[in-house]
Amino acid sequence: MLLGKHVFVEKPMAYSTNEAESMVYTADKLGKKLAVGHVFQFAPAVRKIKELLKKKSIGKVLHITSTRINLGPPESEVDVIWDLGPHDFSIILYLLNESPLKVSSARNEYPFGAFNAPGSKNKFRHTNNAHIDLSFKSGVTSHIHLGWLSSNKIRLMQIFGTKGTLVYDEMLALDGKLKLYGLGIDNRIKAKAGDTAALGYQSGEITVIPLEQHEPLRLECQEFINSVINNKPLINDGRIGLEVVKLLEKSGESFNTN
């Protein structure tokens, strides 16, 4: 930016809030575009979820859960939160369009996982399992599980609302990644004691949501170029990148405090 260039930087945009704030300030001062590579904001399923939430397809959002686990890298200079957390943080911030008021976390360093395998050259001990809870002013809460402990790779997010649930499984094929679950049927509510044998519940109507087919990284690059040429705002600008860095730092601070 100091050389008069617009900048597209990989996530996370910095390793401290102060550095990230400095980058945003410089971009604003010089009138330059600052994009951060939060590519999942451009994923077909995430874009569709944003659209469905705007239409109130599941009513008011109540809670979001996200699980992102796999075997960790054999050599890493960062822990599992800084490695995997930027994806979930950026998605949730994008979907809710607000920053959390409270962040709390619980983390573990287990003596197994690929990054700690026998013969590994990694000299650092890193958190390889973490649970992070977010609370928002709107009343929405979120729980994120990040882990390096399993060879079963999971990328699962669920958005619970007053009128239904959206289930996003990134590991499935495009035509099955996103499903909308209706409220379901539950005749146990206000049931009488004599009705025990007939009581039960079942899921409501399940709808597979069709998704547009595109390559997220290509779309992200196109959006950056379009923003520079036509001076349009970015959905993955420096401000959301800054908020992600803040959440990464706060997750660590919360753990240390606890």
How many residues make up the chain in this entry? Answer: 258
Q: What is the pLDDT of residue 115?
A: 43
Q: What is the pLDDT of residue 153?
A: 96
Q: Give the pLDDT mean for 45-67.
A: 98
As a whole number of angstroms, the distance between CA 203 and CA 219 comes to 36
- 3-state secondary structure at position 108: strand
As a whole number of angstroms, the distance between CA 142 and CA 243 comes to 16
Cis status of the peptide bond prior to 12, with omega within 30 of 0: yes
Query: pLDDT band at residue 117, thresholds of 50, 70 and 90?
Result: very low
Q: Locate 204 and state its tokens.
A: 């409501």
Question: What is the Cβ-side half-sphere exposure of residue 144, based on CA atoms within 13 angstroms?
Answer: 26
Question: What is the pTM (predicted TM-score) of this model?
Answer: 0.87
Q: What is the pLDDT of residue 101?
A: 95
Domain annotation for the chain: domains and CATH numbers: 39-215 (3.30.360.10)
Question: Is the pLDDT reported for residue 252 higher than 80?
Answer: no
Q: What is the pLDDT of residue 2?
A: 79
Averaged pLDDT score across all residues of the chain: 88
What tens digit of pLDDT does each residue of 186-223 get? Answer: 655 555 665 555 656 666 789 999 999 999 999 999 99
Burial of 54 (0-12, 13-18, 19+ CB in 10 A): exposed
Q: Which amino acid is at 127?
A: T
What tens digit of pLDDT does each residue of 85-108 get? Answer: 999 999 999 999 999 999 999 877
CA 198 vs CA 187, 193, 201, 205: distances in Å: 8, 11, 10, 21
